[in-house]
Chain A
Amino acid sequence: MIAAHQLRKLYGGNVVLDGVSLTVPGGQCLALLGPNGAGKTTLLRILATLLRPTTGTLRIDQVDALREPERVRPLLSIVAHGSHVYEDLTARENLRFWETLRGGDPAPARLLSALTEVELDNVADVRVRTFSAGMKRRLALARVLLGQARVLLLDEPFTGLDRRGRKWVNEFLLGFKARGGAAVLATHSFDGGLGVADRVCILGGGRVLVERPAGDLSPPELHRLYESLTDSAEEAP
């Protein structure tokens, strides 16, 4: 589903990504781990076709995403810090707006069904300005459900969420994978998300330091590996 090869991104003279390659087939989730400044968000923005790499190739569902971003965008959904919600609209109005803009069917029953699935049906007509961070993230995920995206990109989805919120996002990801979707989840914390990941990729200094099946390592082993790799990457000139 996602096949990135030798992605390199330079900002001025700074190398932010240095030859990153990764593959995520449908039905799988890749967890991108790395400290702040490792290049996770840049990589996600390139995968979302929001940013062009300096060099490298990116194919999403067999389509050259760098050459034809408009063709792959209907397949993509990104849930980042901002969540793409208008604060002065209600949850229902937000979904109606984005679904119409996508060219989808904004039928009231569909919108309500998506809101019910993310457990926001009881606040469907409340302005988003009053929502917590977790509720905004759930609203963003309702947009993903309506859009029937096949590639889901999540940037720090667990930030600001309590244990119940993290469990909820994990369950959502499991459901997304079960429907054949490919997910990439970028995080710098070990608090959540790793349980649903099929592969773990540790980024440091813009490079892939290691990529392994998630089941190969226990959480303490992964933690130790992460600490040793990112420490040495930060020390490298």
Chain B
Amino acid sequence: MTYARRAWIVLWKDLLVERRSKEQLNALLFFCLLLLFIFQFALGPDREQRAAVLPGLLWLGFVLAGLLGLGRSFLAERENDCWEGLRLSPGDKSAIYLGKLAGNCVLMTAVEIILVVLFGVFYDVDLWTPAAPLALVLALGTVGLAAVGTLFAAMTTHVRARELLFPVLLLPVQVPVLLATVSATQTLLLGQPLADAAHWLKLLAGADLVYVTVGLLTFEFVLEA
């Protein structure tokens, strides 16, 4: 019970700080809009060409937005030595990781919903019919991205070149998640049933399980390092 309360209070604090400062959300929304405009100009009006690259573009948008958002997720802890306060707090430190991960997932989900809606409008794609299976793919992909992103954001918080190091560390580890999400999204956007992407979903779920477990087990060492 205490563990859940500790994870919840970290999530509550992160969402409250974000609601008040709006630092990440504003930057991410502006960034997403910019991406959409650039893609629109780059791809032109050819519907077939767009349909082939749309899943990749959608996830490129999520990953780039994720890099921006996740990389900043521990900046509040740098102020006023709050990082040390977290270190000194007694109890299992993985609760802090879980709270941070949940906060990042909420933020990324908010950005993804907006981005998906804008994609549908900008590129005239029917995202409503496959909405439920697409939501499942997005949820699994978000957890995978956020699980590693939260851990690496913590690792690079005190590094001087963190903006450079964070994507360099994150992207290679994300290859299984990106492969699975892009392929599953493509299957759904081509109008095929979710069952056709079952093997990708299994890979995604497996990767999520591994990443979250590694994050929970190693966060204490990252915090103490």
Contact = CB atoms under 8 A, between A and B. Distances in A.
A78 interface: yes
A76 interface: yes
A219 B10 CA distance: 46
> For B6, B9, B86, which residue has the most chain A Cβ atoms within 10 angstroms?
B9
Interface string A34-60: 000000000000001110000000000
B196 interface: no
Given A73-B90, A86-B79, A103 B6 contact: yes
Interface residues of B, number: 25
Contacts of B91: 101-103
Nearest to B96: A101
A89 B88 contact: no
Contacts of A102: 89-91
B13 A86 contact: yes
Contact of A82 (B76, B84, B96): B84
A93 B15 CA distance: 13
B158 interface: no
B81 interface: yes
B84 A86 contact: no
Given A100-B6, A101-B10, A86 B88 contact: no
A217 B85 CA distance: 36
A90 to B, nearest CB: 9
Nearest to A49: B88
B6 A50 contact: no
Interface stretch (B16-24, B106-114, B116-124, B210-218): B16-24
B82 A103 contact: no
B87 interface: yes
A80 interface: yes
Interface of A: 48-50, 70, 73-74, 76-78, 80-89, 93, 96-98, 100-103, 127, 136
Interface of B: 2, 5-6, 9-10, 12-13, 16-17, 20-21, 76, 79-82, 84-91, 96
